[in-house]
Amino acid sequence: MSEAPTYEISFYFRKILVPVDGSENSLKALEFAIDLARHYGSKIIVVYAKPKGDLRGDPFERVKLRVAKEGMDIQYKLIEYDPSSSNTPSVLVREVIEGGYDAVVVGARGLSLSTEIPIGSTALSLVINSPVSVFIVR
């Protein structure tokens, strides 16, 4: 005799933060988060933490192209910070805490040039400092 599912696990994934930087790894992390959201009814917030004055392109354009085929309601948040007093990992950890997220899904490496490093500093810092579960997608 089998029991009916309780769906308790869905409470661990109600609100998921997905940091993006335009890298392929961050887009893979988004795809993973979308799959979680489909299974558990999660809300996804895609965030881009950008140093003030940074002229790199908007990663939300690539994200929106990827998400368009999924038919999901995803929120986007741009956080600009002063690089003389903060950095991307600390801004993201603050967002996790203040935003009441239940989980973070992040790419293992972002736009760093070295391919010899298996995990980037942002992903590593999130694993160490985040008060919620962090999934690293390779």
Q: What is the pLDDT of residue 62?
A: 87
Q: Which residues contact 137 (CB under 8 A, 6 or more apart)?
A: 25, 28, 29, 32, 105, 106, 107, 108
**pTM recorded for the entire structure:** 0.89
Per-residue model confidence (pLDDT) at position 117? 65
* Domains of the chain with CATH codes: 11-137 (3.40.50.620)
Q: Which pLDDT does position 5 carry in this prediction?
A: 47
* pLDDT score, position 116: 66
Q: Which two tokens stand for residue 59?
A: 């990663």
Which residue positions in the chain have pLDDT lower than 70? 1-6, 111-117
What pLDDT is stored for residue 115 in this prediction? 60
